[in-house]
Structure 1
Amino acid sequence: MNLILDFFLVTGVVINAIILVQLLRIKKKALSQKILLVLFSLLFCVALYFYALLHNITWLAKLCFLPNDMTIITLAPLLLLYVKSLFLDEKSLVKNHLKHFTPAVLFALSITIPTMIFNSYHSNALAYTHSNIVRFIIRTENIYFLLYLTISLRFLLKHQKLSKYEYSNLTKYDLNWIKVMLLSALSIIGLDLALKVYESILGDFSWNADFLSVLAMIILVSYLGFYGINQSKVLLPSFLLQNDTKSKSNKAENKMLSAEKKQEFEHLKHKLISTLNTNHPYLDEDLTLGKLAQQISTTDKTLSTMLNQYMKTTFYDLINTYRVEAVKKKIKSDRYNNYNLFGIACECGFKSRTSFNRIFKKETGLSPSEFKNSKS
């Protein structure tokens, strides 16, 4: 068992070190990358700490004790800040988020640092202090992390939905890997909490159950490192964020449009449809709300409002409906008999095979291959 643990811990240390080097090599770091640098530094210390415990390296365990002890309570708001940094403007984001780290500071001053001082006078005090005095706090710490992960996940889902109002293709901005990462972290903390509850009811395991959580963390770190270093920044227009915060209060108001507003939107709708049918802007795989608004001589805010309130659709859905129709026409054409389906999709503005298949089936009820065979 110790050999397996040793292998995974060494692997975790090496992976963390590689990721940290990659992040340090980035000259102009975005806020999200700076947050990752702090996050992986903490996880690096955690892997080192458990390696030291496994091999009874006292000086290394003492060196890494502070960051290890504070990792969960610090990572909770840090992950939320990371997710927010991918969508929101960096200005004042950290300053406005500092209050979320208050529990971590209080935990360090009241628990971690006193434990370190006490342990410096009593060689076996560290294990004793954490197994008796702080056990309840450690379980609460996990619940605290679960709460923050849930908040982070809700924030991510809401802003992914908003991104459909701005982008016609989400491939470049696809942040499903963060959703997987957050859900995986939820599972790991849930496992860790369940093990601690089990220990408190039925007694300690014959082995350190914390190692299971650390092994799961190492796997998660590898996943986060692979996708996180080169993640895409998704900056949403401020009016989308403002409209989202006011959507509940304005819901009833949005249902009733004045006659003047309806006339204005009807004119804009005809202009939009004429542009779509004549200039085929949807064939541009990088088409955005702003680009389309320029083509019909309006603002992205006005176009977004017209689509949402008058046409009852989103920019993403509208553009991809036209793309699907373009694909259907090409499939029916003999000229494209030698093209594969994804090749046709790319010519019609799609960038991802997965999103193309999903959107096509949603629009037609058939997969692209089923549609092609039905027309044979």
Structure 2
Amino acid sequence: MKKQLETHRNIKDDLFYWLKEYISSKVLTSKIDDGYKGEINRSIRSQAVKDAKHIKELMLITIDFRNRGQSDLRNSTLPNKYFYDYIVGSKNLKSIKDIDTTVRDKYFSLNPKNHAKSTQNLHMVAVNSFFKYIEENNTDDFRFNLGRKRGGQKTVSPIVASGEKKSAYLNTYDLRYFLKQLELFSFKMKNTSKPKLMTKILIFGGLRGTELLKIRRGDISLVDNLGSVTKSKSKALKGKFFRIYVQGKGNKERVVYIAAKHIKEDYDNYLKDSEECINNLFFCTEGNKKYSINALYQQCNRLLSKLGMTEQGQKGSQILRHSYAAYLALKNVDLADISTLLGHASQDVTELYIHISKEDLRDVDDIWKDI
């Protein structure tokens, strides 16, 4: 049910009211952690959020919920609590209607909590989501239009304007070089096809590291001549492809397709020289144990570091995933399709992945065909 935008007629109380409504909605929909399913009454928790009398009580309630089965609440509560503190402490803002793109951008430019740029990007997504919620649920039909000018044009992110890249990725030539060197790299493990196959799936499939390690034997198969794989494209996929069922964040499933020519040789060699893994996983250690995510990060970092391609503060698997997203964007793939292929819940998150340097915004041949 929609509510009046300014029930209290002062910015502190109105913003606090909407923050409770927003977090309450997240309590009703956020993922329940393993081990807590069936133990959490979402309705009771949601009401407890709405009953909070002040911001400190609200944060104590959400911290308790995060510690007892809803850890994902952190992503929506903390960023907006910090922004709330900034707004309430600003003497120039009298009404919630005074909050606009300029106010938001000033906050993120100041960076009062001295967050890393990657953290700021995620926090801005959370703040945008909060005000989008208010837009969709107020009877006044008031719009903040965060991220847009008065004329409707999209603004440049204040975080990008700092001169730092949002995300590191390999350009066309680096990627070709990386794949060539991958074939020559001296791996210590017996089955050298395994690390090569893992790395190529990350590159050509755009998977998260955690998603790669969850793949089971039955999740990957070779298929022929597929129909359309995206809603907005009618073009069918011709030839042989590996189809991979991926379990993403929040247990959301999606399907990834990789041209057979990119991974078939390593796939066949890996299966020929490997034994079945624990819990029917597709990848495991040589001791038949589950791969740790840190081990995968280290493996990717070693490869990139050896070639001088690491980016400070980013994990190797993230760089490969960002490269995948960047080249989809260079090929003019719709943002909605890229978001689906990456398994993102929001296109706002996808935009953080495809901040491409001007030197790479040029006509290129089909990158996957050229490599």
Shorter-normalised TM range? 0.3 to 0.5
Which is richer in helix?
1
More strand by share: 2
Q: Which protein shows a greater Rg?
A: 1
Q: What TM-score, normalized to structure 1?
A: 0.33
Higher relative contact order (CA 8 A, sep 6+): 1
What TM-score comes out, normalization by structure 2 length? 0.34
